Structure 1
Amino acid sequence: MFKRSLFIAAAFGLFVVADAGCKKQEESTTPDEVAEATPKKKGVSEDNEDSMVAAGPSSSEGEGESAPATTDMDAAVAKEDPKVKKPEVKEVCKTKTVGKGKAKKKETTCEMVDSNPKLSASIGVNGLIKGFEWGMSPEQVLAKLGESINKYFDDQLKETKNPMDQDRIRKERNDQINELKKGHVKFGSSTKHKWGVSLIQYEFADDNNEEMIWVKEGSKLRKFYFFKDGQLWKIVYAFNKEKWADKDYAGVVDGSFKKWFGVNPAAKTKQDPKTAAVLLRYNEWTGEKNEKVRSFDMTEVHGVIVVAVVDGVQETSIGERLPNIKGDDKFTDTVGDVLGTSDVAYDEKGNIIEGKNSTK
């Protein structure tokens, strides 16, 4: 599979969450996760942090496995863009009296507050979908991804003089273009696809004119582009938890997501309609055009942390699609059950079986 670069919006200042003791921390211009070397070539896949489309494979990690994206959102956030006026983020402290009688005392709590949380969210969303627009057709998204693959290999061909190496590069390019096409899935019960027992099982509906394109970016990231009536309306990013091996989900939210989308997400829950039991807790950021960013802790069920970016306008008619963390998932696997390929799926025991997806 080919490596794809991940970008973010023009960077918007790093946010630091204050601790309960109201101790101020110094703002850092260095991200928690330091990115690897970033290519500086321009084009459809210009600068990794500026593009969501593929940047070609890498042999820097593992045999036959593309390495993770060389840059990600954390790296991009560390760069200042003078053209973008970022919302002010400051620490706000409040003092209140607690207890009674002799136990009565004052407590001070502090938190970081964004002066314009919708703008911060929009900056993050715009960066994530740069190069793509809501409403794009599957063909347009495939073309964007294909352009990046071709550019990557064209650059390699320009630097290669050996005819045998040139043939190898052309073959790799053709293989990746073919793999990209296999990632185009139409959701219909007649296609007998196997995505109904995967991480994204609640993200689509069969026989509802819905489609998906999914791509793999090394061993740590999967991207899913969802379409309704031929229009792009949601992109889901499934990060292997090993991307943040030293952090739990709360640490990832504080150390990364609040830098990407803003320090004040709304804490949301999904409840069982019959018992009111909480099935899911997640964070949600809302942008200026009602675009939504949601983050989900799915490490226990699927071994991934998920970020979903949604066109809020289309979602109004389609309906909210959320995971069911504590639902009746019949089997789990770390990352394998997220994907399969167009020709590989898993049975209820988690064993690989042959399947057939509708592809284009």
Structure 2
Amino acid sequence: MLNHPSDDRVELFDARATEEQLAELRARLASTRLPERETTREGARGRDRWDQGPPLADIVELVDYWQTAYDWRAFERRLNEIGQFRTVVDGLGIHFLHRRSPRSDATPLVLTHGWPGSVAEFVDVIDELADPQDPLAPAFHVVAPSLPGYGYSDKPAEEGWGTERIAATWVRLMGRLGYDRFLAHGGDWGGPITIALAGRFPDHVIGIHTTTPQAPPGLSLEVLDATERQWVEHTRAFVADRLAYAKVMASAPQTIGYALVDSPVGLLAWILEKFFEWSDTADTPFETISRDRILDNVSLYWLTATGASAARIYFESHQSLDPDLRVTVPAALTTYPHDIEKHPRPWAEERFLHIVRWRAPECGGHFPALEVPEAFVHDLREGLAAVLTASV
């Protein structure tokens, strides 16, 4: 059972699965009933291998590793090293990582993950953000909450926990930690949440960095150059051909939830597909993201039984970002080349009215903190440094 501190208390949290939970996971993995091999042609390479989803051979190998060699306890220790806490905001228990910087000039920063990620996305970058090796680099007091229904945060028992309510919750969470003014970063669902934070709470948000700079809908192609039009076509192709997962979770999170909460291999395949498709890799996501880190993420979903509750953010908020919402605080925007959505700058400028830094790196995908952590930290630092300069 999770602890439920009273409404103004912040309590230390120790993530620890029972031995019975881990034994049950291994037993379920050992008794998995697998489908036949995909009908993709023999000898297919690269992305062709994944035309029908995660290849059987890859799943068999990964499940064997998950069952026999993977060490969940190492991830638990890492979470506890960073510092884990829980508090109740708006009636819901919220779990978060909190790493205070030793630097007196550090600025508070909230990092927001998305789906199919978790706080596991940030565990390899938090230390360097809080206590950089370079004394001239900016430092941050880092807060990384688990979204409602994710990880060790509570599962909402009522409708209404969409991006706007989450943004308001983050303001209260940061204030409770003594951070009345703070910076914000997010990607995937963390993008709309960060945009809502900046747009609705400019008195609290100094400025933002996002890798999901969603523009308002219905903008003209006439203002775009050839490269920017390619970005639009890339995004439209994703929406047309690869968005079925989101429509399923937006329309029937409970239905898919039964499979995700009952079958560890079903959960693994559902999530692994996205880590492959959305990463800047050729043949497997493990080219850039470690096998252990992906299993940390999947195991967190499994051990907390959050397959259904995490999916409900799509039911609550899919394509619901207010088209009239504008961001007036300084914004640093980055679009990675293999991300699933690409928003051209002329369109982004319709929402973000004070862009202080714009970047389009040469490599990286939807999970940059995992794929290219050093480059991600550098980009985030540079972006937030520009934000801080502009906010003076």
**TM-score, structure 2 length as denominator?**
0.26
**TM-score, structure 1 length as denominator?**
0.27
Structure ranking higher in helix proportion: 2
Larger Rg: 1
Structure ranking higher in strand proportion: 1
